[in-house]
Structure 1
Amino acid sequence: MTTLIKSATIIDASSSHNLKKKDILIVNGKIAQIANSIKQESNYKVVQLENLHVSSGWFDTSVCFGEPGYEERETITNGLKVAAKSGFTAVAVNPNTHPIVDTKSDVEFLINKANNSATKLFPIGALTQGSNGIELAEMFDMQQSGAIAFGDYNKSVVNDNLLKVALLYAQNFNGLVLSFPKNKAIAGEGVANEGVNSTRLGLKGIPALAEEIQVARDLFLLEYTGGKLHIPTISTAKSVQLIKDAKKKGLQVTCSVSAHHLSLTDDELEGFDSNSKVTPPLRTKKDTKALIKGLKDGVIDIITSDHNPIDIENKKVEFSIAEDGTIGLESLFGAVNAHLDIETTVKALTVNPRTIFGLDNYSIAKDQEANLTLFDPTTEYTFTKEDILSFSKNSAFTGKQLKGKVYGVYSNKKLVLQ
């Protein structure tokens, strides 16, 4: 199929066409021509959309699909369709399935299940067997089968020595270790950010300290062991500062932030909507400002949806017993685009995550493979249930005003549009 993308503003710092409006001709999955105007032929599939912008394909480094074990929440097939229509040409899938992804055969199952989709799936293997925090999983075997990183999704490594050994062992094969920032003893039975809102509403609080003390511990261990550490979904101002200081020391530490932590606060607790019950909990306006500044300053490397489908039986219940998590693929761009300039957003969805997780980068240039996200950064709209493509509907953004709509992707020789 030959595809002609008309009048698209290119957002790609590595391209000589950056910030210019061009036509892009794609033949057999490769960019054949970029020009001010390309003549249409009868056999071309023409893409001409309002205020069309194009960047290299987005990569989400924290996505949950239910399969295997929780297919009622989301299947791999539908999840990848959702990802493509949300602008993602690649996703890293967390190991929190049933069974936990902690062996090479589990990794191979996920990869084989995702074959030939427009959006490529990259498994994250569990750091410990069964994600139980006791024994390390077979990280090297999983990497050989296609796992790109290792972490126990939303579970902290309680045993200090275990994380130390993991960081040392992973250096043998250049592995990336993920350590979720939560001190379980300090977090206790908390269900929301410890602060004015949790106190007023009678909810058990999780102090910012629970995250920050874990980040500090992990950074001390990294300084001792060397290696590569990624801290997913930080949520507090102090965490940003700790990681900034560690980077100045030259430590190989990176971090991500979710779209909901960038744009929502614990004011969402009003009304006890369990869709806003997430891990880490939504924090304060001071924290969101620090997270946004951290992205602009380059301290925070990656934006993620932290997409976590939860079935209605485990979400539409009393706030304190509801499972943590929100879906986020469909709403990510519209949520963050209102707070960041487009080039910062694109960098945190393309070059940074691909570099950190060891994937090849793409450039919008002649003779390069076409791996593209198509979007309009200006459209403002209210996010409703009709915008949700996932099986599960647990979105913290339902009813929120968003800015920016995704049209779809061109990837793996496939054009997928909304």
Structure 2
Amino acid sequence: MNALIKSATIVDSKSDFHNETVDILIEKGRISKISKRITNPNNYKEIKLDNLHVSQGWFDSSVSFGEPGYEEREIISNGLKTAANSGFTAVALNANSNPVIDSYADITFVKSKAQDNAVSLYPIGALTRGSQSEDLAELFDMTNAGAVAFYDYQKPICNPNLMKIALQYASNFNGLVCSFPQESKISGLGVANENINSTKLGLKGNPALAEELQVARDLFILEYTEGKLHIPTISTAKSVDLIRTAKNKKLDVTCSVAIHNLIFTDDSLQEFDTNFKVLPPLRTLNDCEALIEGLKDGTIDMVTTDHNPIDIEDKKVEFDFAKYGTIGLESAFGAMQHIFTTKKTISILTQGKSRFGVSESTINEGELADLALFNPDKNYEFSLKHITSRSKNSMFIGEQLKGETYGIIANNKIVLK
């Protein structure tokens, strides 16, 4: 793949050309020249776009695509196209398919579905067989097949001894164990944050305590085992404090937060819109502020869209019975820019790669072209026309966003909207 990018502003603090507006020549998938002006040497494809900015490709540590088994929600090929259109060059795929991805063959299957794609897919294997929280899955075999972490998606490991054994066993091959932060006996049948809003709306409450107890438990077990832990999608102020303390003790722990938990609160549930039914639930403004501060000071290592397509049959029902989940790839950049500057947004969207074994390429001559292309200044109302996912369950529909993505250049391929 050869291309010439014209008049692009580079947003990459590790680049020699950070904040400069330049031309970028790409030959055979690698950046061969960066200069103020480059003439097209061999009539290569030229990329000229309005207010074009480029950064390192973005990474999402938690996406779900449905396939195999839930193809009505999404398929891997279209999910990767959605990621590319949204500026992501790498995604970690959750194991919540049917059957659950819990074996060498399963990892091989999903990797084969992503072959020769511009977006690199990094499969996460289930931590336990069938994600049933009873017996460990084939962790070492899945590692050999290409699994980058182990996680029973949105299913807590209830047995603390099982979590202890998982951390001890995985440490033999530097495996990354993920633990969903929810104590199920406390959360019970709760579908919304336990607060004044859940009481007024008559919705069963899922208290912050349920998350914080599980986080505290897992951090105690981590300290005992000296393992390697990732806590996905935390949502409360106390969780941030607990993880901050653990990091000060030099425990090998990272965590993420879903973008929607930074922006929306449980006030959004007034209309019983099931697109706002997510797990962990939307919390309070105080929690949002603490999560944002946690990102700023480095306590929270990465954001995720927690992209989870759910078909209309499972969303257009009573709130209590609707499935959890929202899509988020398409709205990620525009939503983040309502909280952070462009520079900080890009920094956050490119964090977390090393934790999941994702390679990084800076925007310098001689490096592989792994680029997100975007216009950071465009304001627009997010609507169905911006959604390329098969499922349309986005809580950002109708929201004012800032920043438009054009696509990516990665893996020797160009994907533009």
Normalised TM-score (structure 2): 0.99
On the 8 A contact 1:295/1:344 being kept in 2, the answer is: no
Paired-residue identity, %? 59
Q: Which amino acid aligns with 2:359?
A: D
Deviates more, 1:164-173 or 1:12-21: 12-21
Deviation at 1:353, TM superposition (A): 1.4
Q: Which residue does 2:204 correspond to in 1?
A: 204
| Separation in 2, partners of 1:295, 1:244 | 11
Q: Secondary structure at the match of 1:190?
A: coil
Deviation digits for residues 37-75 of structure 1, max 9, x if unmatched? 111346221111122111111111100011000001000
Q: Which amino acid aligns with 1:96?
A: N
Q: Which residue does 1:368 correspond to in 2?
A: 367
Correspondence list, 1:33-72, <5 A? 33-41=33-41, 43-72=43-72
Q: Which amino acid aligns with 2:416?
A: L
On the 8 A contact 1:2/1:43 being kept in 2, the answer is: no
| Separation in 1, partners of 2:13, 2:169 | 36
RMSD between superposed Cα atoms in Å: 0.9
Q: Which residue does 2:336 correspond to in 1?
A: 336
Q: Which amino acid aligns with 1:88?
A: F
Q: Which residue does 2:86 correspond to in 1?
A: 86
Correspondence list, 1:8-407, <5 A? 8-41=8-41, 43-350=43-350, 352-407=351-406
Deviation at 1:359, TM superposition (A): 2.1
Deviation at 1:132, TM superposition (A): 0.2
Q: Secondary structure at the match of 1:92?
A: strand
Q: Which amino acid aligns with 2:353?
A: R
Q: Secondary structure at the match of 1:197?
A: helix
| Separation in 2, partners of 1:292, 1:319 | 28
Deviation at 1:198, TM superposition (A): 1.0
| Separation in 1, partners of 2:70, 2:190 | 26
Q: Which residue does 1:412 correspond to in 2?
A: 411
| Separation in 1, partners of 2:378, 2:338 | 11
Q: Secondary structure at the match of 1:105?
A: helix
Q: Secondary structure at the match of 2:3?
A: strand
| Separation in 1, partners of 2:8, 2:211 | 42
On the 8 A contact 2:90/2:358 being kept in 1, the answer is: no
Deviation digits for residues 377-413 of structure 1, max 9, x if unmatched? 1111110011110000100111111111111000111
Deviation at 1:17, TM superposition (A): 1.2
| Separation in 1, partners of 2:74, 2:358 | 25
| Separation in 1, partners of 2:233, 2:282 | 11
On the 8 A contact 2:82/2:330 being kept in 1, the answer is: yes
Deviation digits for residues 114-165 of structure 1, max 9, x if unmatched? 1011111110000000000000001000010000000100001100000001
Q: Which amino acid aligns with 1:394?
A: N
Give 5+ residue unaligned stretches, structure 2: none
| Separation in 1, partners of 2:20, 2:216 | 43
Deviation digits for residues 256-297 of structure 1, max 9, x if unmatched? 011111111111101000000000001111111111111111
Q: Which of structure 1's runs of 4+ aligned residues deviate more than 6 A?
A: none
Q: Secondary structure at the match of 1:6?
A: strand
| Separation in 2, partners of 1:176, 1:341 | 31
| Separation in 1, partners of 2:49, 2:65 | 31
Q: Secondary structure at the match of 1:353?
A: coil
Normalised TM-score (structure 1): 0.98
| Separation in 2, partners of 1:29, 1:252 | 35
| Separation in 2, partners of 1:155, 1:139 | 17
